Structure 1
Amino acid sequence: MALDQEDRETVYLAMAITCSLSIIGSLFVCSAFILLKDLRVFAFRLVSYLAFTDMCAALVLIFPNNGSTDTACKIQSALSSYFTFSETLFTSVIAHALYSAVIAHKNIEVYHKKYLLYGFGIPIIPAIVPWIGDHYGFSGGWCWIKGDDYYEIILEYALFYIPLWLVLAYITYVHAKVIKQISSDATTSNKETLLRKKLVRKLKLYPLVLLLCQTPISIYRVFLSIQYWTGQLYKEPTLVIIILGGVSLCSHGFLNSLVYGFTGAVRKKIKQLICRKKKTPVEDSMMYDILKDDSTSPAKDF
């Protein structure tokens, strides 16, 4: 869809507002990890990596562009490709750590270097490949792979959307397994049963965040692909669809900070800091911070 100046400004305003919320939420998580020493456990470290990539992606997207294919737009495209792919990979890192702790009963800290290489190293590929062939530029409502020919459409799917859908399938599978494991574990009290039910409800949110953030933009890109491959047989996407795709792209940091970062342990430590209450130890937990009894926790190392 060819956007005029007014439409571009409308799309940018919607994305800028959402990006601002993501920056604030991600900055909160990163600040909590840095400032609150009791929260510097390995599981929350993984969350801080996710929050960092979310924040960087939002910072890149919040800069305005003029709808051109100039160098600034290409740089924004490459950085956006890197950090949006990185944040997707770190959701799968957290899912793998969760599976390793709950199902495989492994010490997740041994994977630290591999997690870093996977989450920060692999995204270099989808960021550089389109640059080599000069395939970056204004695409729809923001800067990314232009999608002006068959090869660029293939790049979009090969470098981002197919890996994204695979990650979504993986984390959905992992969380289903973990929920089944937790639900089948024997409980010793009504209190523990209630805690486990609360945890199950919480675990269902993790795949949902990625699904909510990526479904609109995936539908938008698939629509554009069909439109191109069929020779413009379908109507162009409306401004509302473009705005919805842009907002969903920018909302990762905000939703991830709520679901992954603003956990019971974090809220407890912030309350203690503000009210100057006596500190209590925090278990090395992220998703499992609501299970305070280590002897019954299904993921003691997590």
Structure 2
Amino acid sequence: MEIKRFGQSSNDSSRCTLFNTDSDDYRCVVILTVKRATATFSLIGCLFMLFVIWLLRRYHSLAQKMILSLTVAAFFDSIAYVMGEDHPEGRLCNFQAWWLTYFDWSALAWVCLITLNLYLNLVKEMRTDQYQIPYHVLAWGVPLLMSCMPLFGGFYGPAGAWCWITEEHVAWRFGIWYVPLFTLIVLMMICYARIIYVANKRMQSWFGTFNPERERRKVSLAEEIKPLKWYPSVYLLVSLFPLINRLHNAFYPRDPVFSLTVLHVFSAPLHGLANAFVFGLDRDTWGQLSLTGIQLALHSRLCDRTQIREYHPGPVRYMPADEMGFSDSDDDTNVLFFSPDMALKDRGP
């Protein structure tokens, strides 16, 4: 989530304190460039994900709403990495550090809750629509607690290319982020292994006469679990290099490794983006993003105002024909009222 302090300091504006060299040292320039490029790419990717969700209306079911919330958290997390460079110690630096911690945790919380929701749906066969509000309370409340503890303790400050927990509080870095992060990754791997095992066993157990609904569920379940095998690997990959670099910095605080630092600033801003892409862009979604598909979707969103609504019959008041102004000789076949007990052929044209 952070790298060792580098860049301009408040006392010496021409020094790169990471390697104790001039600020134009190629290593510092490379690190800063990689950080800016990765954070900007992550921000653009999140905006693209939000556009796709809006374009294809992927926000109706609970699972889709959770992916939308994950993408929103990833979007604001990317903003934290683009906020600034090496802020001096103060309110702005503390705000950036709090913002970064909060939305890093929000993205992680939504990933864990999506995993839990999938586990309850497929393994426990439970409906989880009623858990929508508790999910939001957990996904936005727990990060608030985790981000405010270092703030109230005064542990935030300049920490490299962005502000975070300072190098004087290494234990807080691991306690607030890295230990919970990798603990949750391991738990999610176990959970996904169980989901895939149960899903495969369930698909193999379906037999008997042909049932269209059962076959549809079988195909839907197979598509649901396809991307799962990639998710733990993707999240572990973008989290591994920051952990290795932080461990090295903890043991050798005065001897940073350039290659590890570059890998750190490259992969750290990709947490939320990787999550959003793995969960949000399946094969069916990519198939709808052709030029023709985008044009049709845009036309549907911007031009088509047709609304199809369900008709709910209400109480009916029956009136004599003479009160309505009709006589027996009126040749009119229109139905003036609707009764749910009427057969379709009795409802008129």
TM-score normalized with structure 2 length: 0.69
1:92–1:170 CA contact under 8 A, matched in 2: no
1:102–1:178 CA contact under 8 A, matched in 2: yes
Distance (whole Å) between structure 2 residues aligned to residue 198 and residue 106 of structure 1: 19
Which residue of 250, 274, 277 maps to 2:269? 250
Q: Aligned AA for 2:133?
A: K
Distance (whole Å) between structure 1 residues aligned to residue 153 and residue 219 of structure 2: 55
Which residue of 172, 186, 190 maps to 1:173? 190
Residue 141 of structure 1 deviates from its aligned partner by 3.8
Looking at secondary structure, tell me which structure has more helix per residue.
1
1:25–1:253 CA contact under 8 A, matched in 2: no
Residue 64 of structure 1 deviates from its aligned partner by 2.3
1:214–1:248 CA contact under 8 A, matched in 2: yes
Distance (whole Å) between structure 2 residues aligned to residue 147 and residue 179 of structure 1: 41
Distance (whole Å) between structure 1 residues aligned to residue 84 and residue 222 of structure 2: 44
Which residue of 135, 143, 155 maps to 2:155? 135
1:206 aligned onto 2:239:
no
Deviations 1:265-296 (A, max 9, x none): 433454574253899xxxxxxxxxxxxxxxxx
Distance (whole Å) between structure 1 residues aligned to residue 131 and residue 221 of structure 2: 27
Corresponding residue for residue 126 of structure 1: 146
Which residue of 256, 260, 264 maps to 1:237? 256
Corresponding residue for residue 91 of structure 1: 111
CA RMSD of aligned residues (A): 2.8
Distance (whole Å) between structure 1 residues aligned to residue 217 and residue 147 of structure 2: 46
Residue 12 of structure 1 deviates from its aligned partner by 2.6
Q: 1:39 to 1:112 in 2, by over 3 A?
A: closer
User: Percentage identity across aligned positions?
Assistant: 20
How many residues were matched structurally?
270
1:59 aligned onto 2:79:
yes
1:163 aligned onto 2:201:
no
1:89–1:167 CA contact under 8 A, matched in 2: no
Deviations 1:183-224 (A, max 9, x none): 212256999989877765521111112101111111111222
Q: Which segment is superposed worse, 61-70 or 267-276?
A: 267-276
Which residue of 111, 117, 122 maps to 2:131? 111
Q: 1:32 to 1:250 in 2, by over 3 A?
A: same
Deviations 1:119-165 (A, max 9, x none): 111111221111223211122443110021xxx22211221112111
Residue 33 of structure 1 deviates from its aligned partner by 2.8
Corresponding residue for residue 300 of structure 1: none
Residue 67 of structure 1 deviates from its aligned partner by 5.1
Q: Which segment is superposed worse, 196-205 or 126-135?
A: 196-205
Corresponding residue for residue 279 of structure 2: 260
Structure 2 unaligned segments of length 5 or more: list them. Answer: 5-16, 301-349
Q: 1:211 to 1:126 in 2, by over 3 A?
A: same
Pairs within 5 Å for 1:188-199 = none
Residue 49 of structure 1 deviates from its aligned partner by 0.9
Q: Aligned AA for 1:147?
A: E
1:20–1:58 CA contact under 8 A, matched in 2: yes
Tell me the secondary structure at the aligned position of residue 37 of structure 2.
helix
Distance (whole Å) between structure 2 residues aligned to residue 67 and residue 241 of structure 1: 23
Corresponding residue for residue 45 of structure 2: 25
Residue 39 of structure 1 deviates from its aligned partner by 4.6
Residue 25 of structure 1 deviates from its aligned partner by 2.0
Q: 1:62 to 1:86 in 2, by over 3 A?
A: same
Corresponding residue for residue 11 of structure 2: none
Q: Aligned AA for 2:237?
A: L
Distance (whole Å) between structure 1 residues aligned to residue 145 and residue 232 of structure 2: 25
Tell which has more relative contact order, 1 or 2 (C-alpha 8 A, sep 6+). Answer: 1
Corresponding residue for residue 219 of structure 1: 244
Distance (whole Å) between structure 1 residues aligned to residue 285 and residue 279 of structure 2: 10
Corresponding residue for residue 154 of structure 1: 171
